[in-house]
Structure 1
Amino acid sequence: MASQGGTAETNNEIWQGENKIVIGIDIGTTQSGVAFTYLVKGGKPQIHRITQWPGQVANSQTTKIPTVVWYDNQTAVSFGAEALSRDKRMDAEDNGWVLAENFKLHLHPEHMRADNLMMNPLPNGVPLSQIYSDFMGYLFKQTKSYFEDHIVDGGSIWEKYISTVEVIIAHPNGWHSREQAFMRNAAVECGVFNTPGSTIAKNITTFVYDRKDRDSQCVMLGDRLLIRRCIQLLPRNRSSN
Structure 2
Amino acid sequence: MPPRAPYTGAYRKLVLALDIGTTFSGVSYCILDPGQIPEIRSVTRYPAQENVGGDSKIPTIIYYDQSGTVRAVGAEAVGEGLEDIIEDEGWIKAEWFKLHLRPHWSTALDSSFVLPPLPPNKTVVDVFADFMKYLYACARKYIQDSHASGTIFWASVEHHTEFVLTHPNGWEGAQQARMRRAAVHAGLIPDTDEGRARVHFVTEGETSLHFCIQSGLTTEAMMNGEGVLIVDAGGGTVDLSAYGQTQTGAQLSFQEVASPQCHFQGSVFVTNHARIFLDALLKNSKFHDDLDHITKCFDKTTKLRFRNNREPQYIKFGTARDKDPQLGIRSGQLKLHGLDVAQFFQPSILCIINAILEQCKITSKPISTIFLVGGFAASDWLYSQLKESLEPFGLDLSRPDSHVNKAVADGGVSFYIDHFVTARVAKYTYGMPCSVGYDGTNIEHVSRANSILQNAAGYDRLPNRFSVILAKDTQVSELTEFRKSFSSIRWPLESFDALEFNLMCYRGCSTSPCWRDVDLEMYSTLCLITADMSQLSKLLHIRHHGKRSYFYYKIEYDIVLSFGLTELIAQVCWKENGEEKRSPAKIVYDHDILESALE
**TM bucket, shorter chain:** 0.7 to 0.9
Q: Residues 186-201 of structure 1: matches in 2 within 5 Å?
A: 186-194=182-190, 199-201=194-196
Q: Which residue of 2 aligns with 1:33?
A: 26
SS in 2 for 1:36: strand
Decide whether the 8 Å contact of 1:163 with 1:200 is kept in 2.
Answer: no
Give the structure-1-normalised TM-score. Answer: 0.85
Over residues 184-222 of structure 1, what are the superposed CA-to-partner deviations in whole Å (9 max), with x where a residue is unaligned? 110111024459x99432200011123135465388535
1:95 to 2:280 alignment: no
1:57 to 2:85 alignment: no
The 3 A distance-change label for structure 1 pair 194 and 220 is farther
SS in 1 for 2:156: helix
The 3 A distance-change label for structure 1 pair 182 and 104 is same
The 3 A distance-change label for structure 1 pair 84 and 67 is same
Q: Residues 165-180 of structure 1: matches in 2 within 5 Å?
A: 165-180=161-176
Over residues 113-172 of structure 1, what are the superposed CA-to-partner deviations in whole Å (9 max), with x where a residue is unaligned? 323332101111222111110000000001100010112222112112211210000001
SS in 1 for 2:36: coil
Give the structure-2-normalised TM-score. Answer: 0.35
Question: Root-mean-square deviation (CA), in Å?
Answer: 2.5
Q: Which residue of 2 aligns with 1:13?
A: 5
Instruction: Determine which of 204, 227, 236 is the counterpart of 2:413.
Output: 227
Instruction: Determine which of 98, 101, 110 is the counterpart of 1:107.
Output: 101
The 3 A distance-change label for structure 1 pair 64 and 112 is farther
SS in 2 for 1:122: coil
1:144 to 2:136 alignment: no
The 3 A distance-change label for structure 1 pair 216 and 180 is farther
Which consecutive unaligned segments of at least 5 residues does structure 2 have? 206-238, 242-370, 375-402, 420-599
The 3 A distance-change label for structure 1 pair 159 and 27 is same
Instruction: Determine which of 20, 24, 46 is the counterpart of 2:17.
Output: 24
Partner AA of 1:179 in structure 2: Q
Task: Please give the alpha-carbon distance, in whole angstroms, between the structure 2 residues aligned to 1:99 and 1:192.
Answer: 24
Decide whether the 8 Å contact of 1:27 with 1:33 is kept in 2.
Answer: yes
Task: Please give the alpha-carbon distance, in whole angstroms, between the structure 2 residues aligned to 1:15 and 1:198.
Answer: 25
Over residues 57-107 of structure 1, what are the superposed CA-to-partner deviations in whole Å (9 max), with x where a residue is unaligned? 253511000000001021111100111112333211110001000001110
Task: Please give the alpha-carbon distance, in whole angstroms, between the structure 1 residues aligned to 2:171 and 2:119.
Answer: 24
1:204 to 2:199 alignment: yes
Task: Please give the alpha-carbon distance, in whole angstroms, between the structure 2 residues aligned to 1:11 and 1:134.
Answer: 37
Task: Please give the alpha-carbon distance, in whole angstroms, between the structure 1 residues aligned to 2:194 and 2:161.
Answer: 8
Decide whether the 8 Å contact of 1:70 with 1:77 is kept in 2.
Answer: yes
Decide whether the 8 Å contact of 2:12 with 2:156 is kept in 1.
Answer: no
Identity of aligned residues (%): 32
Q: Which residue of 2 aligns with 1:237?
A: none
The structure 1 segments of at least 4 consecutive aligned residues displaced by more than 4 Å after TM superposition are 192-195
1:135 to 2:131 alignment: yes
Task: Please give the alpha-carbon distance, in whole angstroms, between the structure 2 residues aligned to 1:99 and 1:150.
Answer: 32
- Greater C-alpha Rg: 2
The 3 A distance-change label for structure 1 pair 70 and 33 is same
SS in 1 for 2:45: coil
Over residues 39-73 of structure 1, what are the superposed CA-to-partner deviations in whole Å (9 max), with x where a residue is unaligned? 10111111120111111125351100000000102
Task: Please give the alpha-carbon distance, in whole angstroms, between the structure 2 residues aligned to 1:198 and 1:92.
Answer: 41
Instruction: Select the structure with the greater relative contact order (CA < 8 A; seq sep ≥ 6).
Output: 1
The 3 A distance-change label for structure 1 pair 228 and 190 is same
Decide whether the 8 Å contact of 1:25 with 1:221 is kept in 2.
Answer: no
Task: Please give the alpha-carbon distance, in whole angstroms, between the structure 2 residues aligned to 1:221 and 1:227.
Answer: 11
How many residue pairs get aligned? The number is: 225
Decide whether the 8 Å contact of 2:189 with 2:196 is kept in 1.
Answer: no
Q: Which residue of 1 aligns with 2:115?
A: 119
